[in-house]
């Protein structure tokens, strides 16, 4: 929602697109870096609980938090837009999921690369659609996505999968 609104405020998606790619790459690379540092310190059971916690927090974020109001006077600086997106990505559900996947697997850099590609693709779609993004059934998508994340946390916690 934030990206679609920024693209609307900028008048075109190009400036936002220029901010999306480096923000996604930097945020997911940092999450992968953290995962690479944390993973060797944990045994397999502790890694599982890091994944459970990250999935549960990401699911709760998707279900509970709503998009901020549209910016009144957004900056037209690509750098400022990138910084805002980077902070949101690193501290949000996507950063948590990249961290969890990086800790759970022996390939935190692949988790970071996959997270960057997926994040950049989703944000580029939102920027491209702009005002049409808000017409999508976002509430339903948030409920479905958050529920899937919470169910994955439960399944992982109870070792169902």
Q: What is the mean pLDDT of residues 110-114?
A: 94
How many separate domains does the chain show?
1
Q: How far is CA 101 from CA 3, 33, 128, in A?
A: 25, 12, 28
In Å, how far from its chain's centre is CA 109? 16
Q: What is the mean pLDDT of residues 3-32?
A: 82
Residue span of the structural domain in which 94 resides: 2-157
Whole-prediction pTM: 0.81
Q: Is the pLDDT of residue 114 over 90?
A: yes
Rg of the Cα atoms in the chain: 16
Residue 52: what pLDDT?
93
pLDDT tens figures, 42-77 = 998 999 999 899 999 999 988 888 766 666 645 677
């Amino acid at each position: 929602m934030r990206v679609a609104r920024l693209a609307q405020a900028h008048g075109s998606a190009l400036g936002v697109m220029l901010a999306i790619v480096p923000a996604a790459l930097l945020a997911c690379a940092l999450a992968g870096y953290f995962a690479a540092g944390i993973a060797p310190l944990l045994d397999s059971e502790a890694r599982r609980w890091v994944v459970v916690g990250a999935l549960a927090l990401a699911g709760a974020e998707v279900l509970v938090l709503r998009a901020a109001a549209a910016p009144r006077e957004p900056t037209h600086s690509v750098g400022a837009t990138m910084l805002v997106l980077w902070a949101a990505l690193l501290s949000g559900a996507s950063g948590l999921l990249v961290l969890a996947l990086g800790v759970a697997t022996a390939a935190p850099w692949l988790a970071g690369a996959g997270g960057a590609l997926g994040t950049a693709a989703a944000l580029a779609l939102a920027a491209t659609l702009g005002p049409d993004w808000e017409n999508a059934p976002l509430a339903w998508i948030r409920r479905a996505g958050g529920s899937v994340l919470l169910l994955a946390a439960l399944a992982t916690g109870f070792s169902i999968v």
